[in-house]
Amino acid sequence: MDVGGSNPPDLILIILSNTINLILPTNNKIRITKFIKTFKYKLTQNKVMKSKSGAIELSMTTIIVVVLGITLLILGLAFIRGIFGNLGDISDETFDNAQDLLVGLESFDDFLTLRPERIELKQGEDKPVKLTILNQGREEITISVLANSRDENLECLIFDAGNTEEIKKEERKSQSSSYTLTSGEHKSMFMVIKDKNGDLRTTGCNVAVQGAPVGISDTSKVVIVKVIKSESLF
């Protein structure tokens, strides 16, 4: 009688079957053996049903765990995004757009030119604005540019390096370096305007040129900034 590796119910049936073969007459053996086979078949079917039920329960548990995991991941990403937005990191796309602005060919008529003068920012977003100063007089002048905002959730940062890699290394500041311009010469730089996840509002960055000749009226201008709702992660 081989009972190695059998489950308890199977072991009981094996012992019962072998005992019947030893002590009962042939006719009774046949009846009881059929009963045992029928019972064993039903027992096997019951195991299969339990196995399928367990598999369904396991699948449902897996789905619930996956859904909860994705939800927590999305919430975590939103939280991290908020933290880094508050830290004031400037996107690479903004630096690349600023570089494109600087290399663009344009004509200037005003002492101070802002391109563009109005922008829309999503909450937590940043965008560049090109600043150009043109010496319209006959004398040489030395100028610098100062940017600021009364809005505590808006950054107005001046960058005056020549290329993208230098710009990324440049220290954040609200005032440019000093530049000497001869008659007819111009200097272009850019300002990054960044919203620090503030409310929806219309605000602005003030730009002023220091060192302008006497009699120049347009030494300061304002970039109008409209902050709009950021795109939801959900």
Q: What is the pLDDT of residues 84-103, one digit of tens each?
A: 444 446 666 776 666 656 56
pLDDT recorded at residue 104: 59
Q: Identity (one letter) of the amino acid at 210?
A: Q
Residue 51 has pLDDT above 70, yes or no: no
Higher-confidence position of 103 and 15: 103
Rounded Cα distance, 187 and 173, in Å: 18
Q: Specify burial of residue 69 (Cβ count, 10 A radius: 0-12, 13-18, 19+).
A: exposed
Q: Residue 68 — very low, low, confident or very high, per pLDDT cuts 50/70/90?
A: confident
DSSP state of 229: P
pLDDT recorded at residue 81: 55
Q: What is the pLDDT of residues 158-198, one digit of tens each?
A: 987 655 555 556 667 899 999 999 999 999 888 999 999 99
- 133 neighbors 112 (Cβ within 8 angstroms): yes
pLDDT recorded at residue 45: 61
Tokens encoding 207: 């730009």
Q: What is the pLDDT of residues 113-124, one digit of tens each?
A: 999 999 999 999
DSSP 142-168: EEEEEEE-S-TTEEEEEE--SSHHHHH
Beta bridge partners of 194: 126, 155
Rounded Cα distance, 52 and 15, in Å: 29
Q: Identity (one letter) of the amino acid at 212?
A: A
Rounded Cα distance, 205 and 158, in Å: 11
Mark residue 49 as left, alpha or beta (left: phi above 0; alpha: psi -120 to 50; beta: remaining).
alpha
Rounded Cα distance, 20 and 29, in Å: 6
Neighbours of 137 (CB within 10 A): 17
